[in-house]
Amino acid sequence: MVTVEQIFALGVKNGIKADPRGIKGVENHLKQMKKSYDELKPKEKEYFDQENLINPYPDSRIHCGNRKQKVKRVLAGIDIGAGEILLASQLNERKKPIDLIIAHHPTGQSLAGLHSVMDMFVEVYVKLGMPVHVAEKLMEKRVAEVGRGVHPINHYQVIDIAKALGINLMNTHTITDNLVKEFLRRYLDKQNPSTLGEMIEALLELPEYKQAKKLGAGPVLFAGNPKHRVGRYLLEMTGGTNPSDEVYKQLSRYGVSTIVGMHMKDTGREQADKFYMNVVIAGHIASDSLGMNLFLDELERQGIEIVPCSGLIRVSRVKNK
């Protein structure tokens, strides 16, 4: 039987395998973090988050509880708030004990560190042919913007409730976003849709997107025509949150015709459309659910029961249950 910390370690391991930077890219990132830490003055080291020395995803972590606790049943959801913490407490009282809550979206210190994972966009853009100085400049402004945006949030409200009720809580944001990106890359490469209409049809073959469509939040075309050819496409499924709106001019310039993303701000859509790009939005919660399901299946294979909540479209791909 696995423990809370073993579950999180498995998540990090899987996230690294699917990381768009590649395993060597992740290793280089961790080396740079170690170098940055070693160069700090003693007083500055007090404020350094040493989790970053071993975990390349600062928007994913174990927040509270007993890391050594063995896990039989997990409550899993997209957004975990006070209501979901109380739900776990109620289930505990009703003899359906929850050993661990797994959120997708960050909270606490992982929310405060959301902008720190956005550097991975640089490597993605460089692989597409964009010069590194252009990619870095585009991301610097957006990273700072996101950092300012999350700074005033009451990060620890939910965690304090979990602590008071003795609930184990963790989240897997970029970890499972990496999984959905890699899954869709392989899937769409195999399907090889020629047009945007065919791209949406291919997405609707996946049960998470099919169910989201029934619920009114399935794949949609934000820019372009269903008859337009897909061309070279970029999956915007990981990296914390949406990149800078200014990136679409450069992506178009370097040969990307279509963006396939979870979500996009209207200002981003306007810029993509301005520079003749197509935009397919697969759906936020459906995409998050797909990534979470890929990870939760790993737990199910180890005999852990999954209790879905908070918008998670739970689809199991475990055979021979």
Residues 152 and 101 in one domain: yes
Residues 34 and 77 in one domain: yes
Identify whether 291 is part of a domain: yes
Q: Which residue has the higher pLDDT, 165 or 109?
A: 165
Identify whether 77 is part of a domain: yes
CATH number of the domain within which 268 lies? 3.40.1390
For helices 207-214 and 284-300, angle between their N-to-C axes, nearest 10 degrees: 140
Predicted TM-score of the model (pTM): 0.94
CATH number of the domain within which 94 lies? 3.40.1390.30
Residues 141 and 197 in one domain: no
Residues 136 and 207 in one domain: no
| Tens of pLDDT, residues 180-233 | 999 999 999 999 999 999 999 999 999 999 999 999 999 999 989 999 999 999
pLDDT above 70: percentage of residues in the chain: 99
Q: Which residue has the higher pLDDT, 111 or 83?
A: 83
Residues 274 and 295 in one domain: no
Residues 77 and 29 in one domain: yes
Average pLDDT over residues 40-54: 92
Identify whether 315 is part of a domain: no
Identify whether 314 is part of a domain: no
All residues at 6 or more sequence positions from 116 whose CB lies less than 8 Å from its CB, including other chains: 52, 58, 59, 143, 240
Q: Which domain holds residue 193?
A: 179-284
Residues 161 and 274 in one domain: no
Residues 138 and 250 in one domain: no
Residues 24 and 167 in one domain: yes
Separation of alpha carbons 271 and 290, rounded Å = 28
Q: Is the pLDDT of residue 321 over 70?
A: no
Residues 183 and 121 in one domain: no
Give residue 109's pLDDT: 86
Identify whether 45 is part of a domain: yes
Q: Which residue has the higher pLDDT, 239 or 294?
A: 294
Residues 280 and 302 in one domain: no
Q: What is the DSSP string of 87-135?
A: HHHHHHHTT----EEEESS--HHHHHTGGGGTTHHHHHHHHTT--HHHH
Identify whether 109 is part of a domain: yes
How many folded domains does the chain comprise? 2
Give residue 286's pLDDT: 97
Residues 297 and 278 in one domain: no
Average pLDDT over residues 161-167: 96
